[in-house]
Amino acid sequence: MSFATAAGPAADLGLAQTPPNLADPATRARLTPAAVEGIVHLAEIWRLTSAEICALLGDMSERTWFRMKKGQWPGTLSQDALTRVSVLVGIFKGLRLLFSEPLSDEWVRLPNKGAVYGGRRPLDAMIEGGIPKMLDVRRHVDALRGGL
C-alpha cells in the first residue's frame, strides 16, 4: 500500500487536485458565494472603485456589484467571472506573501516599469487586457516570489 493510499486522498497530502469544472452550473452555484465574498473583501482592501471592480470582473453592471456587496445578489457567477476572481485572489495572495502591508495592498495601484505594465499601474493593465493580462500579472507576482 502506498503512502498516499494509507494517508487518505491526495488532497490530504497537498497534492494537486483536479480543478473544478466551471462549465458545470452546479459547480458554479456552489463556488459563487465564496467567490463573491472574497472579491468583495479584495475590492475593499485594494480600494477599488465600483467601475474598476466591474471592469475587472468582465464588465459587470454596477447595479449587480452593489447588490453583491450588500449580500442581496441571488445569481451565479459565470465561468469567466469565476476565473477572473480566482486569478485576482491568486494575485492578492502572492502579493501578501511577497510584500508586507501596506505595499502588498497598494501594489496594484502603483505605476510599474516592468515589461508587463509599460509604466502603467497593474490595475489598469489588467482592466485593459482582461484575463490574459491578469494571468500575466499573476505569473509576474509568482515569479517575483520565486514561484516560477
Total domain count for the chain?
Answer: 1
Give Cα separations from 58 to 25, 82, 100, 142 (angstroms). Answer: 19, 10, 29, 23
User: What is the model's pLDDT at position 13?
Assistant: 58
**Is residue 115 included in any domain, yes or no?**
yes
The angle at the Cα of 105, spanning 65 to 91, to the nearest 5 degrees, equals 75
Query: Can you say how many angstroms the Cα of residue 95 is from the centroid of all Cα atoms in its chain?
Result: 12
Query: Could you read off the pLDDT of 95-131 as tens digits, one per residue?
Result: 999 999 999 999 999 999 988 999 999 999 999 999 9
17: confidence class by pLDDT, cuts 50, 70, 90: confident
Q: What is the domain extent for residue 132?
A: 25-144
**Is residue 15 included in any domain, yes or no?**
no
**Is residue 1 included in any domain, yes or no?**
no
**Is residue 20 included in any domain, yes or no?**
no
Give the side-chain half-sphere CA count within 13 A for 29.
4
> Which pTM value belongs to this model?
0.85
Instruction: Return the residue matching grid coordinates 482592466.
Output: 127
**Is residue 17 included in any domain, yes or no?**
no
Give Cα separations from 84 to 4, 8, 36, 127 (angstroms). Answer: 32, 32, 11, 11
**Is residue 16 included in any domain, yes or no?**
no
Query: How far is the C-alpha of 139 from the C-alpha of 148, rounded, in Å?
Result: 8
Q: What percent of the chain has pLDDT over 70?
A: 88
